[in-house]
Amino acid sequence: MESLNTELLSSHFIHDIINEDLKTGKCGSKVHTRFPPEPNGYLHIGHAKSICLNFGIAAQYGGLCNLRFDDTNPSKEDVEYVDSIQEDVKWLGFDWDDRLFYASDYFEQLYAYAVQLIKDGKAYVCDLSAQEIREYRGTLTEPGKESPYRNRTVEENLDLFERMRAGEFPDGSRVLRAKIDMASPNLNLRDPVLYRIQRATHHRTGDKWCIYPMYDFAHPLSDALEGITHSICTCEFEDHRPLYDWVIEACKVECRPRQIEFARLNLSYTVMSKRKLRELVEGGYVEGWDDPRMPTISGLRRRGYTPEAIRDFCERIGVAKAVSTVDISLLEHCIREDLNKRAPRAMAVLRPLKVIIDNYPEGQVEWLEADINPEQPELGKRKIPFSRIVYIEQDDFMENPPKNFYRLAPGREIRLQHAYYVKCVDVVKDEKTGEIVELHCTYDPETRGGWSADGRKVKGTSHWVSASHAVRAEVRLYEHLFTRENPDDVKEGEDFKANLNPNSLQVLTSCLVEPSLAEAVPGDRFQFLRQGYFCADPDSRDGKMVFNRIVPLRDSWAKAQKAGK
């Protein structure tokens, strides 16, 4: 694991709680946390916040952090998710050493706890249907009704529960419930279900079990069995805390993890629930979990985000109780800051326009020099070939430019970055369509490197590539996946998919890039001059180059900060 600079980590209310616990000796003298995903989808940037928090706190206090899969729902889970989650946590820079656990490892132990609860008169087998259980449950304003099976004898309960395990009853016909309080103002305490019958093959225990513990039973006990001192979770579990405390108490477990809730991360223009992300994948709205438009860790990785930028983002957003939505431009700002320091520069022309430099000797090639990264002069220079025919960006030329257009136009001179001043002397059009096919320019040999000895200034600078050296590439440009800041803001009868952005992906297939980029391998990141930060995609193969734009250069977050917004 790369060492985390804990000094930079800001302080928040969870630190206050832990400091107090350490002072009073409430958690012993150690801190032990865990990241507990359900393996029913890929991790997203919200999970990254939880991962950074749990592993970060353990590191700060010299404690430990486990990775535990809360795998209690076999019908939704898969090894594909188990594998991807481990890959993503590692990639983010965290290490659980030998502390990889599964709630399913505790199934036998959890069953024993359930039997103990029955013996203590704290749990009973209930024959109501799921629908009936819901009806009996009552509402926030009305107490629930007791199940007619609530007062079965211990012997009958033990017998039925054993037979549930033995597979004597059909799925859904019976459940084991905690006997707590049907009139509790907290609905979670109204005799919650602890076990259900479900004939589903589990990705780890196979067909060994046909009853599975509910999350609310397995989760607190798994924490306790692992000796977790601080069980950090998101606010929607606040209402479950009394139930978790009841479970721990009733099962007479020694360890008492302290649950601390924090507000989950929401990002503008983004959906974060796994259910919705799965819907996008399964419905073919995106190409997969690692589609570069997805807020998943694997999507962000493919897009070109670095673990450092994601960790920096998680640090900057802080930890609080109050729910808020973070501006996605902050995430984009973090990757720009990171890559500005690290990414080599290159020139890439996304929509090429041919330029012939009439007075440049035919067949001549000059290898011009430019910084690999001006932020790191020690990296030295790269060589860029210049020749008689170059390509510039279509956008960098206008035949009849408006007042505020400073780039190339007939009769006007601009700088080709790192190369020469060139002046447009002619525009050639397709006779039939009127489309501009090429420009003719002259260059000033006295301006080598892009600077004029006589102090003559030009207003525009363009990037370019040499026609005979450039490498063809496909470039994928992205916009937000949704058109609305809050994708769930929809008209009646619609769902979040109604806000999908039809322009979220634009594929440009005839881009031309600097020859040095022919060697790029998937995952390599660059700043393409004036176009943004890009990452070579795994689709680059057999000589075909594909680049994803991570972000354009314009930093709307930094701009808003400057403007004091």
Residues that bind ligand ATP (CB under 6 A): 36-38, 46-47, 49-50, 233-234, 264-265, 272-275
Q: Which residues contact 298 (CB under 8 A, 6 or more apart)?
A: 42, 43, 84, 87, 88, 289, 290
Cα separation, 12 vs 8, in Å, equals 13
The tokens describing 430, both together, are 């397709």
Phi-psi region of 425 (alpha: psi -120 to 50; beta: other; left: phi over 0): alpha
> Considering 90, 256, 258, 264, which one is annotated as catalytic?
264
Query: Toward ligand ATP, which CB reaches closer, 47 or 549?
Result: 47
The Cα angle at residue 67 between residues 63 and 70, in degrees rounded to 5? 130
Other C-beta atoms within 10 Å of 454: how many? 7
Contact 56, 2 (CB under 8 A): no
| Nearest Cα to Cα of residue 243 among 198, 177, 153, 161 | 177
> Considering 165, 274, 302, 407, which one is annotated as catalytic?
274
Residue ranges of E strands in 37-116: 64-69, 100-102
SS3 for 396-433 is HECCCCCCCCCCECCCCEEEECCCCEEEEEEEEECCCC
Q: Indicate the residue whose CB is closest to ligand ATP.
A: 46
Other C-beta atoms within 10 Å of 62: how many? 9
Query: Toward ligand ATP, which CB reaches closer, 259 or 462?
Result: 259
Is 474 considered catalytic here? no
Contact 214, 165 (CB under 8 A): no
Contact 236, 321 (CB under 8 A): no
Query: Toward ligand ATP, which CB reaches closer, 44 or 480?
Result: 44
Q: Which residues contact 396 (CB under 8 A, 6 or more apart)?
A: 353, 407, 408, 414, 460, 462
Cβ at position 265, least distance to ligand ATP in Å:
4
Cβ at position 193, least distance to ligand ATP in Å:
18
Cβ at position 228, least distance to ligand ATP in Å:
12
Cα separation, 51 vs 55, in Å, equals 6
Query: Toward ligand ATP, which CB reaches closer, 184 or 266?
Result: 266
Query: Toward ligand ATP, which CB reaches closer, 496 or 534?
Result: 496
Is 254 considered catalytic here? no
Residue with tokens 């990296």: 379
Cβ at position 47, least distance to ligand ATP in Å:
5
Query: Toward ligand ATP, which CB reaches closer, 118 or 232?
Result: 232
> Considering 38, 77, 332, 393, which one is annotated as catalytic?
38
Is 177 considered catalytic here? no
User: In Å, what is the CA distance from 549 to each residue of 332, 398, 476, 485, 521?
Assistant: 12, 25, 6, 21, 15
Cβ at position 275, least distance to ligand ATP in Å:
6
| Nearest Cα to Cα of residue 69 among 96, 30, 31, 32 | 96
Query: Toward ligand ATP, which CB reaches closer, 234 or 461?
Result: 234
Contact 480, 271 (CB under 8 A): no
Query: Toward ligand ATP, which CB reaches closer, 266 or 340?
Result: 266
DSSP label at residue 164: H
DSSP label at residue 97: T
Query: Toward ligand ATP, which CB reaches closer, 229 or 447?
Result: 229
Cβ at position 288, least distance to ligand ATP in Å:
17
Beta-bridge mates of residue 35: 67
Cβ at position 34, least distance to ligand ATP in Å:
9
Cβ at position 481, least distance to ligand ATP in Å:
15
Cα separation, 473 vs 514, in Å, equals 10
**Residues classed as catalytic:** 38, 264, 274
